[in-house]
């Protein structure tokens, strides 16, 4: 499966927004965005040109793609599904992205970043409703139970991640049972709980052209 293999911190600097792509590093003094909060590249500190409407729409789409670790083709498939569903297309899109299994694993606190969560899912570390699921884009729904495999429950990385989850907090649509190393999907994700500054209207305007 294709994926972005470049520098993650470069993406945050390009969007002028800390997207927490590197997990715990983003909370430390080593965060590149904090040390160099200007655009990447030779002319990163000299970007004062006027921004067009198209550029604003494109940057918003790129920001969401990079936050959830997706490439163009997969993102457009998610948008088409959101556009066909009832309701507001932009909010439908964000709800679909939040329902991804790798995002749910990250939001529950099992992983320190979505990239780490994606790798854990691909390596068969989680079951959904007692069934093996190794597809990061699998969409969870209310009533689903995401459980860490018993053989990995004492892994130091998992323990550290769960201890650090209190810093981010677990959204109300998920219920974490830390003692059992599992979380339950209580409801559909709520748009209000997506704290990342996203203007989904701009994405809809761009992808609907």
Per-residue pLDDT of the chain (209 residues; tens, 9 = 90+): 455 555 655 665 565 665 565 555 555 555 555 556 656 555 455 655 667 888 889 989 988 998 898 889 999 999 999 999 998 999 999 999 999 999 999 999 999 889 899 999 999 999 999 999 999 999 999 999 999 999 888 899 898 888 877 777 889 999 999 889 999 999 999 888 887 888 899 999 999 87
Q: Please report how many Cα atoms fall inside a 13 Å half-sphere around the Cα of residue 50, on the Cβ side.
A: 2
User: Rounded to whole angstroms, how far apart are CA atoms 16 and 101?
Assistant: 27
Cβ-contact 208, 97 below 8 angstroms: no
User: Rounded to whole angstroms, how far apart are CA atoms 188 and 158?
Assistant: 25
User: Rounded to whole angstroms, how far apart are CA atoms 83 and 16?
Assistant: 28
What H or E segment, with its residue span, contains residue 74? helix 72-84
Domain with CATH 3.10.290.10 in the chain: 100-188
Domain with CATH 1.10.1050.10 in the chain: 8-97+197-207
N-to-C CA span, the chain: 28
User: Rounded to whole angstroms, how far apart are CA atoms 144 and 104?
Assistant: 11
Give the CATH fold of the 100-188 domain: 3.10.290
User: Rounded to whole angstroms, how far apart are CA atoms 147 and 139?
Assistant: 15
Kindly indicate whether the domain formed by 8-97+197-207 is annotated with CATH number 1.10.1050.10.
Answer: yes
């Amino acid at each position: 499966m294709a994926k972005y293999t470049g520098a993650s911190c470069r993406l945050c600097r390009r969007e002028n927004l800390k997207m927490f792509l590197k997990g715990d590093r983003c909370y430390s003094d080593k965060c590149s965005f904090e040390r160099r909060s200007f655009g990447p590249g030779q002319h990163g500190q000299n970007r004062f040109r006027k921004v067009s409407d198209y550029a604003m729409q494109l940057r918003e789409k790129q920001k969401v793609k990079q936050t959830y670790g997706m490439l163009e083709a997969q993102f457009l498939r998610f948008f088409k599904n959101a556009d066909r569903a009832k309701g507001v297309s932009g909010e439908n899109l964000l709800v679909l992205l939040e329902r991804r299994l790798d995002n749910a694993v990250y939001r529950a606190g099992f992983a320190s970043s979505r990239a780490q969560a994606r790798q854990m899912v691909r390596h068969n570390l989680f079951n959904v409703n007692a069934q093996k699921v190794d597809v990061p884009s699998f969409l969870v729904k209310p009533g689903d139970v995401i459980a860490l495999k018993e053989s990995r429950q004492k892994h130091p990385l998992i323990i550290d991640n769960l201890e650090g989850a209190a810093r981010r907090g677990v959204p109300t649509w998920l219920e974490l049972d830390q003692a059992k190393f599992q979380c339950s999907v209580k409801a559909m994700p709520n748009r209000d709980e997506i704290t990342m500054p996203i203007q989904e209207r701009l994405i809809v305007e761009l992808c609907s052209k």
